[in-house]
Amino acid sequence: MASQMRISCILILLLGTGLMVRVALAARTVRVIQGYTLANIPQQLGGERGTDLPLLPFEVELLAPDGGAILQRRYGPADRIVWLAAVQSRSDWRVQHPPQICYVAQGWRIEDERRLALPHYTVRRMLVSKQAQRRLVYYFYTDGRQWTGSYFNRIFHALLDRALRAQVSTWTLIQVSTPWRSDADEARLVRALDDLYPTRIITPFAIIKG
């Protein structure tokens, strides 16, 4: 009985502390910084010029009320096409959920998923298939200062900014994909990622399981 009382007291204390922290954060003056927006995405990736695509109805419904936006763009001709999907948001994390959720919901099967380590940041790499189609997918989150393939890290850094620095910034989920046939398709996505990173330097990469 005494043990249960202690657990109950600890839970009440934690809930109370969490509530006080939430109230304190809500009452603070928060500085808004630009972060990484859709305007930062170049019109050319891997030497191919992009063409904007119309949004589907469900994508319009996902738009965040805090200045969120979605960009769908196609780069290159059919034999070396790269699709880009980007979701911009400042505080609504739900619209930037990991892309696996959408792929599975649309009938794709995830054959492989792992981290792809680049010199400056890490992305998530997925190989997905549906019927006779196979597609290679890379995605990551960035606010222009942090570059991560982890949804958890994206939320963690946003909370850290809010709690310690009293600031919020715009984050963008960026996903690039291409039909998967050979290693040449992998190299195409690496070049696309290089153009998305400010240094514009093509460097070797390594795939890390996990």
Res. 135: pLDDT tops 90: yes
- What pLDDT score was predicted for residue 13? 56
Res. 83: pLDDT tops 80: yes
Selected residue with higher pLDDT from 156 and 30: 156
Q: Does an H or E element contain 154, and which?
A: helix 151-160
The model's pTM is: 0.76
Query: Which DSSP symbol is given to 68?
Result: -
Separation between Cα atoms, residue 158 and residue 162, nearest integer Å: 6
Flag whether 140 is in a domain. Answer: yes
Please count the other Cβ atoms lying within 10 Å of the Cβ belonging to residue 186. 18
Res. 167: pLDDT tops 80: no
Flag whether 164 is in a domain. Answer: yes
Flag whether 157 is in a domain. Answer: yes
Res. 200: pLDDT tops 50: no
**Token representation of residue 74:** 């196609």
Flag whether 101 is in a domain. Answer: yes
- What pLDDT score was predicted for residue 9? 55
Mean pLDDT of 136-140: 95
**Token representation of residue 206:** 């390594």
Res. 128: pLDDT tops 90: yes
Backbone torsions φ then ψ of 42, nearest 5 degrees: -70, 155
Percentage above 70 pLDDT, the chain: 70
Flag whether 77 is in a domain. Answer: yes
Separation between Cα atoms, residue 120 and residue 136, nearest integer Å: 21
**Token representation of residue 113:** 């998923």
Flag whether 5 is in a domain. Answer: no
- What pLDDT score was predicted for residue 34? 73
Mean pLDDT of 142-165: 84
- What pLDDT score was predicted for residue 162? 76
Selected residue with higher pLDDT from 91 and 24: 91
- What pLDDT score was predicted for residue 159? 83
Flag whether 20 is in a domain. Answer: no
Number of domains present in the structure of the chain? 1
The domain in which residue 86 lies consists of: 30-208
Mean pLDDT of 4-14: 55
Flag whether 154 is in a domain. Answer: yes
Selected residue with higher pLDDT from 11 and 126: 126
- What pLDDT score was predicted for residue 5? 53
- What pLDDT score was predicted for residue 67? 57
Mean pLDDT of 125-144: 93
Mean pLDDT of 156-181: 84
